[in-house]
Amino acid sequence: MALLEMNYLSKSLFRTVPVYVYLPADKISFEDMEYSMKEGEKFKTLYLLHGLLGNYTDWVCKTRLTQFAEEKNVAVVMPSGDNAFYVDSLVPSNDYGAFIGEELVQITRKMFPLSDKREDTFIAGLSMGGFGAVRNGIRYAETFGYVAGLSGAYDVLTEETDGSEHRIFGKYLKEIQDTDRNPKVALEDLIKRGAPLPAFYLACGSSDQLLDSSLNFRDLLIEKGAKVTWDEQPGGHDWEFWDMEIKKVLDWLPVGGKDALGLGSGNVRTK
């Protein structure tokens, strides 16, 4: 596998940001020992978001993501979203929604061999990242054809809970609840402008405190006519659950299977 760490100057955040990029570009054909990536080939791509208190390394360090992505021949882009819930702030130079939904897609397509087709472009995340993936997948539905939210905190802008949202959004919480930073408002706006809805995969553990949030948002999507795949399994708000679910997400996405593999790390004959 090719796992790259890049740092580049973000115009949305007005600072240098780190990103992990996984590319299945170094597979070798078992038959002729040549690289199996074809000239001009462009990869289907998953933009994958971490949760609160995490960073761009989480998915690589805490799950078997690269193994699963290699099997599916899909590229994965993993940015850092700090604790900003991947939405634009009222504070200058903190446009995390534009960073995820526009800038990151545009610049990685310029830097790497990534498909620019909507049906080949996906977004997913866990917890805060589940919120971010769903909100931005809806807000930028012309870019993302498939959206997956795992254990998503979808009510963070609509309900008073334990006050943690005030530590994140500060005095601006009330000002942004009725904007498209809220995925429910973004969904209404998408329907009004007549854009196509992405396909959705939502999952949550049966003992996760965010289960009701996930169920309520699932029901809203179905009510609005979205195609939704739902998975509720025993588990909590933890990496054991997310490791299991990211494999299911990749199985759900329209990506290649083992027939797309060559000789990979570990010298295992996979074709």
Which residue carries 């948002």 as its tokens? Answer: 217
What percent of the chain is helix, strand and coil (3-state, nearest 5)? 35, 25, 40
* Inter-residue contact 244 to 235 (CB < 8 Å): yes
Q: How many domains is the chain partitioned into structurally?
A: 1
Return the closest-CA partner of residue 118 out of 149, 141, 148.
141
**CA-CA distance, 57 to 239, in Å (whole number)?**
13
Q: Give residue 28's pLDDT band: very low, low, confident or very high (50, 70, 90).
A: confident
In a domain, 210, yes or no: yes
Indicate whether 159 pLDDT > 60.
no
> Residue 150: which H helix or E strand, with range?
strand 146-150
**pLDDT for 40:** 82
Is 265 contained in some domain?
no
214 close to 125: Cβ distance less than 8 angstroms: no
How does pLDDT run across 203-257, given as a tens digit for each residue? 999 999 999 999 999 999 999 999 999 999 999 999 999 999 999 999 999 997 6
pLDDT score of 271 more than 50: no
Does position 154 have pLDDT exceeding 50, yes or no? yes
Structural domain includes residue 240: yes
- Give the model's confidence band at 157: pLDDT under 50 very low, under 70 low, under 90 confident, else very high: confident
In a domain, 67, yes or no: yes
- Give the CATH number, domain containing residue 37: 3.40.50.1820
Residue 206, by phi and psi: left (phi above 0), alpha (psi -120 to 50) or beta?
Answer: alpha
List all residues 6 or more positions away from 106 whose beta carbon is below 8 Å from its beta carbon.
none
- Residue 107, pLDDT score: 98
The domain of 196 spans 2-256
Which amino acid belongs to residue 262?
Answer: G
Average pLDDT estimate for 9-13:
97
Res 176: pLDDT? 82
The pLDDT, as a whole number, for residue 167 is: 58
pLDDT exceeds 60 at position 161:
no
213 found inside a domain: yes
In a domain, 70, yes or no: yes
Cβ neighbours of residue 25 closer than 8 Å, sequence gap 6 or more: 2, 35, 37, 43, 113
Residue-wise burial string across 13-22, b where 16 or more C-beta atoms lie within 10 A, e elsewhere: beeebebbbb
> Is position 268 within any domain?
no
Residue that has been written with the tokens 């599916």 in this structure: 72
Query: Which pLDDT belongs to residue 261?
Result: 55
d(CA 249, CA 253): 6
- What is the pLDDT, as a whole number, of residue 270? 47
| pLDDT value, residue 103 | 98
CA 63 – CA 74 distance, rounded (Å): 16
Residue 162 has pLDDT above 70, yes or no: no
Angle, CA of 106, 107 and 110, to the nearest 5°: 95
Residue 86 has pLDDT above 80, yes or no: yes
Mean pLDDT calculated for residue range 61-82: 95
Q: What is the pTM of this model?
A: 0.92
The rounded distance, in Å, linking the Cα atoms of 91 and 35 is 47
Instruction: Give a yes or no: residue 215 inside a domain.
Output: yes
